[in-house]
Amino acid sequence: MAQNYDVVIIGGGTGGYVAAIRAAQLGLKTAIVENEKLGGTCLHKGCIPSKALLRSAEVYRMANKTASDFGVEIEGVTLQFDKVQARKQAIVEQLSQGVNTLMKKGKIDVYEGYGRVLGPSIFSPMPGTVSVELRNGDENEMLLPTNVVIATGSKPRGIEGLTVDGNYVMNSDHALMMETLPKSLLIVGGGVIGIEWASMLCDFGVYVTVIEFGPTILPAEDMDVVKELTKQLEKRGVRIVTNAKLKVDTFDIKNDSVFISAQVEEIEEQFEADKLLLCVGREANTKGIGLENTEIEVENGFIKVQDTYQTKESHMYAIGDVIGGLQLAHVASHEGLSAIEHIATGKIGVLDPLRVPKCVYSYPEVASIGLTEKDAKEQGFTLKIGNFPFKAIGKALVNGETEGFVKIVADVQTNDILGIHMVGPHVTDLIGEASLAKLLDATPWEISQAIHPHPSLNEVLVESALAVDNRAIHF
């Protein structure tokens, strides 16, 4: 029998399940359809498991390399990768149960199965009925929503001509489930995911080569930050090859190793490793979900939406990775909340990409918000820049982690902060303050006037804010 709902959400990732909770809070009768596990990519194949592995890698690096600097001698350090994986999985399971509990608490109906949008049918003259192919094999459920939110997310992109077999050639889904570590690894792609893997595996003792098509890794970040991270990764033994055009037809597997060549500027170089990890971006899950039964438009592979997150069918919304833009969990959830707010109240909550913090959980970490120096110059701003190194921050010395800096890019005319760029210890936590500063339109002076505890890493923000007007105290 068909069930009526105010909102049906297809996809239970960060975007979808957060939207479902808000819809239920606002009194809407809500259902969510999830084909795999609630929590989606972020919880099961992305943010959380990768950060759990990164943390184990950090502990291993410290035990192996830096503990003795603190006067702590640890002998016979060994890595038990099965325990590393088990710890990661336990964290994922705990959070996963938490999401299931939240669905029950919100009285949200969860349908375990594959959702497809139908066109006009006996159920409704409008497109938007959702047919659910249930995982348990029972007859399809028909859901009749007043509004639909498509939150089907994304999956790893491949490269034409290179077969991803999950063993010799992996994507991030496979890498997260590795039972043993390779001795050497080629990572194709120097974006956020590729660089996090490079940093983590290097800490685990894997010999890593990053092959990047463009002139630098992390092309969206400020170039000073990129230079510093590149230097630090290379110092730890990661080989980074840029301007490298992969020659897919040279790929071969021989004697349990992979071989592939790339044109690196003028020279063709052959690379060899135990395995290859493809990190070349993510494509939206737009196929097989019934879009052809609707007027919904897909542009460059992503569902096209307006500022309200409505598609061309005004009662059907789309949010998260499936609409492109910044493919981040906090963006997906913010968009989910905005879409539901629009459904319930008509309010529009446009997301300004310049107010979205972006993080790379490598060692050292990278975090940024707003315009890079280059982008700000290209947009015609006259700039003043404050730069302050962690090596002049007491707490960084206490922690034994002094690499990196914070850079604030401000507008000479208005004093507005245009961008804040960080590379160094715990900057993925420090960027929260920068995000608040951007939201409140704070000037560098206002940041410097907020009293920060001493000793703390946060003091780097005060000093870099003061440095914008050449008033830094400790450097």
List, by residue number, the catalytic residues: 454
Told to check if 321 binds ligand FAD by CB under 6 A, we report: yes
Give the C-alpha separation, 279 to 327, whole Å.
14
Q: Out of 190, 320, 370, 404, name the contact with ligand FAD by CB under 6 A.
A: 320
Residues 106-125 that bind ligand FAD (CB under 6 A): 114-115
Told to check if 357 binds ligand FAD by CB under 6 A, we report: no
Question: What is the distance between the terminal CA atoms of the chain, rounded to a whole angstrom?
Answer: 71
Q: Out of 7, 21, 33, 188, name the contact with ligand FAD by CB under 6 A.
A: 33
Give the C-alpha separation, 454 to 347, whole Å.
42
Question: By rule CB under 6 A, what string of x and - marks binding of each residue 44-83 to ligand FAD?
Answer: -xxx--x---------------------------------
**Amino acid type, 198:** A
**Residue 195 or 406 with smaller CB distance to ligand FAD:** 195
Q: In this structure, what token pair is assigned to residue 175?
A: 């890498």
Give the C-alpha separation, 100 to 80, whole Å.
31
**Residue 286 or 308 with smaller CB distance to ligand FAD:** 286
Q: Out of 23, 99, 328, 442, name the contact with ligand FAD by CB under 6 A.
A: 328
Q: 307 Cβ partners below 8 Å, 6+ apart?
A: 348, 350
Nearest distance, CB of residue 270 and ligand FAD, angstroms: 28
Q: Out of 31, 34, 141, 229, name the contact with ligand FAD by CB under 6 A.
A: 34
**Residue 320 or 419 with smaller CB distance to ligand FAD:** 320
Give the C-alpha distances (Å, rounded to integers) separating 204 from 63, 79, 91, 209: 11, 8, 20, 14
Give the C-alpha separation, 204 to 219, whole Å.
26
**Residue 290 or 444 with smaller CB distance to ligand FAD:** 290
Nearest distance, CB of residue 295 and ligand FAD, angstroms: 19
**Residue 218 or 393 with smaller CB distance to ligand FAD:** 218
Nearest distance, CB of residue 335 and ligand FAD, angstroms: 8
Give the C-alpha separation, 405 to 67, whole Å.
23
Nearest distance, CB of residue 328 and ligand FAD, angstroms: 4
Residues 357 and 351: beta-carbon distance below 8 Å:
no
Give the C-alpha separation, 433 to 435, whole Å.
5
Q: In this structure, what token pair is assigned to residue 292?
A: 């052809």
DSSP H or E stretch at residue 239: strand 239-241
Nearest distance, CB of residue 29 and ligand FAD, angstroms: 19
Q: Out of 30, 232, 327, 448, name the contact with ligand FAD by CB under 6 A.
A: 327
Nearest distance, CB of residue 36 and ligand FAD, angstroms: 4
Told to check if 128 binds ligand FAD by CB under 6 A, we report: no
Told to check if 172 binds ligand FAD by CB under 6 A, we report: yes
Q: Where are the beta strands (DSSP E) in 151-189?
A: 154-156, 169-170, 184-188
Q: Out of 35, 257, 399, 435, name the contact with ligand FAD by CB under 6 A.
A: 35
Q: What is the largest CA-CA distance in the chain?
A: 75
DSSP H or E stretch at residue 101: helix 81-105
Q: In this structure, what token pair is assigned to residue 4?
A: 């009526």
Binding residues for ligand FAD, how many (CB under 6 A)? Answer: 36
Told to check if 364 binds ligand FAD by CB under 6 A, we report: no
**Residue 50 or 230 with smaller CB distance to ligand FAD:** 50
Taking CB atoms within 8 Å and a gap of at least 24, the contacts of 349-354 are 350/307, 353/325, 353/326, 354/419, 354/438
DSSP 439: H
Residues found in the chain = 475
Residues 276-305 that bind ligand FAD (CB under 6 A): 285, 289
Give the C-alpha distances (Å, rounded to integers) separating 136 from 36, 73, 139: 12, 54, 9
Question: By rule CB under 6 A, what string of x and - marks binding of each residue 1-20 to ligand FAD?
Answer: ---------xxxxxxx----
Secondary-structure percent of the chain, ordered helix, strand, coil, rounded to 5: 35, 25, 40
**Residue 212 or 463 with smaller CB distance to ligand FAD:** 212
Nearest distance, CB of residue 189 and ligand FAD, angstroms: 12
**Residue 172 or 232 with smaller CB distance to ligand FAD:** 172
Residues 2 and 123: beta-carbon distance below 8 Å:
yes
Residues 342 and 308: beta-carbon distance below 8 Å:
yes
Q: Out of 85, 152, 199, 311, name the contact with ligand FAD by CB under 6 A.
A: 152
Nearest distance, CB of residue 171 and ligand FAD, angstroms: 9
- Name the site residues for ligand FAD (rule: CB under 6 A): 10-16, 33-36, 40-42, 45-47, 50, 114-115, 151-154, 172, 193, 285, 289, 320-321, 327-330, 332, 361
